[in-house]
Amino acid sequence: EEHLLESGGGSVQPGGSLRLSCAASGFTFSDYAMNWVRQAPGKGLEWVSTITNGGGTTYYADSVRGRFIISRDNSKDTLFLQMSSLTAEDTAVYYCAKRGANSWSHFDYWGQGTLVTVSS
Amino acid sequence: QSVLTQPPSASGTPGQRVTISCSGSSSNIGTNTVNWYQQLPGTTPKVLIYRNDQRPSGVTDRFSGSKSGTSASLAISGLQSEDEADYYCAGWDDSLNGVVFGGGTKLTVL
């Protein structure tokens, strides 16, 4: 069974950096595009970034482009999100999600999420 | 302001049929498929409907999806108390070159 486990969340000051990881298991990681989706406290879902299965193509939301970098290590079945120049607006639970077979917005498995809090 | 527009709330009584709308544009719903997600209180989102109207295995047939033009809908029949949740539509936007979510609809079972 597919399983995704995020880690690396925590508290950081405005302007700081943080690196999130997502360990995948139960499926052939290198066959699937992967995503980060976030949810600010009490708010809705916001797509953050997508990376293709081989890592050669990445997509970003306008709100994070130039500050966040998505990457993956297929030899270790792990997805990453390097976040820099963080602001209070980046405070959220960050979920990694596996792309389903049917479309770029089809996320068929989600991790439990990791909380990032940006505060002074 | 979300690219996909959903009503912020919906409600119904047990047994009723409720519909949640999702309005987009030619660059998203008009040309790409729509997926729906359910997020029960305090839990991780899960896919409810994919490719406009397909249900993953394990999802009850009380949930159904449809799409017409630049709008999509999620229908829930035989409403039950355990259907109380937040519901989100999502699709790919060709202009933004990314995934867009609706703002979410909070469903209350009265």
| Contacts with B37 from chain A: Cβ below 8 Å | 45, 107
**Tokens of residue A7, six digits:** 């880690």
- Per-residue pLDDT of chain B in tens (110 residues, 90 and over written 9): 899 999 999 999 999 999 999 999 999 999 999 999 999 999 999 999 999 999 999 999 999 999 999 999 999 999 999 999 999 999 999 999 999 999 999 999 99
Q: Which of B54, B56, B41, B49 shows the shortest CA–CA distance to B102?
A: B49
Give the type of residue at B102. G
Closest approach of B53 to chain A, Cα-based (Å): 12
Minimum CA–CA partner of A107 in chain B: B47
| Contacts with B86 from chain A: Cβ below 8 Å | 44
**B12 within 8 A of B62, measured Cβ to Cβ:** no
| Contact criterion met (CB < 8 Å) for A103 and B88 | no
**A41 within 8 A of B80, measured Cβ to Cβ:** no
